[in-house]
Amino acid sequence: MKKNETEAPVMKQHMGLKASAAISNTIIYVILVIMSIIWLIPFVCIVLQSFRVESTYIVDYVVPHKWGLDNYVKLFHSNFTRWYINTFIIALVVAVVQTVIVLCMSYTLSRFRFKLRKGLMQFMLILGMFPGMLAMIILYRVLDDMGMTGSNSLPGLILVYVASSGMGYYVSKGFFDTIPKSLDEAARVDGATRAQILYKIILPLAKPIVIYTILTAFMGPWGDFVFARYVSQLKPLGMNVAVGLQSWLATDTMTHDNYTLFCAGGVVVAVPVAILFMCLQRYYVEGVTGGAVKG
């Protein structure tokens, strides 16, 4: 009897807590769903417009009256294929080279102690605060002298994207710092060289940060407009997808003729990135939080 008397208020309190938790969860989920819908609207609109075949200009409705793949067929019979390949080559090369540079830089700054190490890190921090655009004119002059502009902009753009790679070491260095140094020391005693330690011990443990570095290195050139526009000087052979697609909407007349084609291009550009993100999403989130919180 006594037991029931004490149990009842505890049960009531427990039920109350459970109910309030359910209400707050519901509110959170409703807000999240609304936000997701708002963020998805432009993308859904572009996808729908890309299948519209009754007209090529901007219209005031979202769902096409007539559906078809005409825009996609047209897309691959235009310069778009060239731009797509250009962008893919640039992004791939940059992803590989930049990842190698960033990881080596991060490992060096995390593990080695040398004179001016701190000075170098501070210098890079300050340098990173200046917008890259400031260097655009001089970069163009240099690249132009080297013959890497206009139609031949591919190597020029790769050079520009890769040049400042080393400065993106912060997140991965933070992650490397959380890996105990005694692992390096144990490996050194075991007979491993520095390169073997990085390759066999550190990188397998830093998988999330490696994925994160690859993704960010790939994403930068894939979506870049400003540098690509400037270096390619709108020469069709030297453009990437962002510049190419924008060139289709350069004037009102062009927008009138190319809007749905532009939407189809936008969808095709988004596909590989979306697939990449979906596959590597888990590592990407782990990489960002792992490095930031622990470092």
Partner 1 sequence: MASVKLTKVKKIYDNNVVAVHDFDLEIKDKEFVVFVGPSGCGKSTTLRMVAGLEDISEGTVEIDGVVVNDLQPKDRNIAMVFQNYALYPHMTVYDNIAFSLRLKKMPEDQIYERVTNAAEILGITQYLMRKPRALSGGQRQRVAIGRAMVRESKVFLMDEPLSNLDAKLRNQMRAEIILLRQKLDTTFIYVTHDQTEAMTLGDRIVIMKDGYIMQVGTPTEVFEMPANLFVAEFIGAPKMNIIKTRLLHENGKYYVTPFGVKIEVDGEKGRELAKRQLGTRDILLGVRPEHIVLDRKGGGIPCTLEVNEMMGSELHLHVYTEDETRLIVRIPTIDLETSERESLAQGKKLSITFEGKVMHFFDPETEKNLLCD
Q: With respect to partner 1, which residue has the nearer C-beta, 131 or 204?
A: 204
Nearer to partner 1, 198 or 245 (CB): 198
What is the nearest approach in angstroms of partner 1 to the Cβ of residue 202? 10
| Tokens, residue 64 | 């096409």
Chain positions contacting partner 1, by CB under 8 A: 180, 182-183, 185-192, 196, 201, 204-205
Distance in Å, CB of 208 to partner 1, minimum: 12
- Specify the residue, 104 or 192, whose C-beta has the smaller distance to partner 1: 192
Instruction: State the amino acid at position 86 in one-letter form.
Output: N
- Can you read off the two tokens belonging to residue 208? 């999330």
Q: b/e for 82-121, b at 16 or more Cβ within 10 A?
A: bbbebbbebbebbbebbbebbbebbbbbbbeeeeeeeeee
What gap in Å lies between CA 231 and CA 229, rounded to an integer? 6
Residue 123 CB, shortest distance to partner 1, in Å, is 20
Helices 207-223 + 80-111 axis angle, to 10: 140
Closer CB to partner 1, residue 205 or residue 288?
Answer: 205
Measured from the CB atom, is 9 or 191 closer to partner 1? 191
**Closest separation in Å from C-beta 185 to partner 1:** 5
What distance lies between CA 233 and its chain's CA centroid?
A: 25
In angstroms, what is the minimal distance from the CB of 192 to partner 1?
6
260 CB-contact burial (10 Å; exposed 0-12 / middle 13-18 / buried 19+): buried
Q: How far apart are CA 124 and CA 81, in angstroms?
A: 38
